[in-house]
């Protein structure tokens, strides 16, 4: 029996990028406030090879000068599954993201969201579904060119922190797909690592 307090939303998409590029987009935390208009000041407090805990300052729609702190836990559960857990405006949610390879550079992304609503929020279930679906579409559209562009430059032998090969003749896809390695590397003094409680601020 389905729990009436749970708002469940499943969204399926397809995109012309490899599975690892699609997952990279979730693990690349440096694009958040650059690409997504709703994000400000994402701070990573702790991360390791398959998980990360972050605090985001999320802007409230229509009142952008008010920001609320939102915790986010992410874990790469297995090769095809990523979970995120968060609390937004007091609503606890989990997102199960399944990414399946359709082709070497074509992926299917299934986002299955579950929001645990309080009794007083139940009359707004349909409204929340509409608002969330709209929000998800906006985020998808903002991330879409990020994934496509990354696949394109990786196919030209782009290397993180190095760039494209100097010779044009070497900017050709050699058939070897990019392999995601977690955590995704950042510059030493990245703004993602400046929170006073970040594990990187601990004295060694």
By the rule CB under 5 A, 33 interacts with Fe ion: no
* Contacts to Fe ion from residues 127-156, by CB under 5 A: 143
Q: Write the DSSP string, 49-118.
A: SSEEEEEEEEEETTEEEEEEEEEEEEEEEETTEEEEEEEETTEEEEEEEEEEEEETTEEEEEEEEEEE--
Say how many residues touch Fe ion, by CB under 5 A: 1
CB 49 within 8 A of CB 182: yes
CB of 126 to Fe ion, least distance (A): 26
Comparison of 56 and 143: residue with beta carbon closer to Fe ion = 143
Rg from Cα positions in the chain: 18
CB of 111 to Fe ion, least distance (A): 12
Say how far apart CA 187 and CA 115 lie, in whole Å.
35
CB of 15 to Fe ion, least distance (A): 13
Comparison of 143 and 193: residue with beta carbon closer to Fe ion = 143
CB of 36 to Fe ion, least distance (A): 6
Binding site for Fe ion (CB under 5 A): 143
């Amino acid at each position: 029996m389905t729990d009436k307090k749970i708002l469940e939303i499943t969204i399926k998409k397809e995109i012309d990028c490899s599975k690892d590029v699609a997952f990279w987009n979730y693990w690349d935390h440096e694009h958040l406030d650059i690409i997504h208009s709703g994000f400000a000041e994402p701070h990573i407090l702790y991360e390791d090879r398959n998980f990360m805990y972050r605090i985001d300052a999320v802007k409230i729609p229509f009142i952008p000068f008010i920001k609320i702190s939102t915790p986010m836990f992410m874990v790469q559960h297995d090769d095809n599954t990523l979970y995120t857990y968060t609390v937004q405006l007091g609503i606890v949610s989990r997102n199960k993201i399944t990414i399946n390879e359709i082709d070497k550079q074509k992926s299917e992304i299934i986002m299955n969201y579950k929001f645990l609503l309080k009794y007083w929020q139940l009359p707004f279930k349909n409204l929340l579904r509409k608002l969330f679906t709209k929000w998800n579409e906006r985020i998808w559209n903002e991330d879409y060119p990020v994934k496509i562009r990354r696949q394109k430059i990786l196919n030209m032998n782009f290397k993180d922190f190095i760039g494209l090969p100097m010779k044009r003749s070497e900017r050709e896809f050699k058939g070897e797909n990019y392999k995601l390695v977690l955590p995704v590397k950042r510059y030493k003094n990245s703004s993602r690592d400046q929170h006073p409680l970040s594990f990187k601020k601990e004295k060694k």
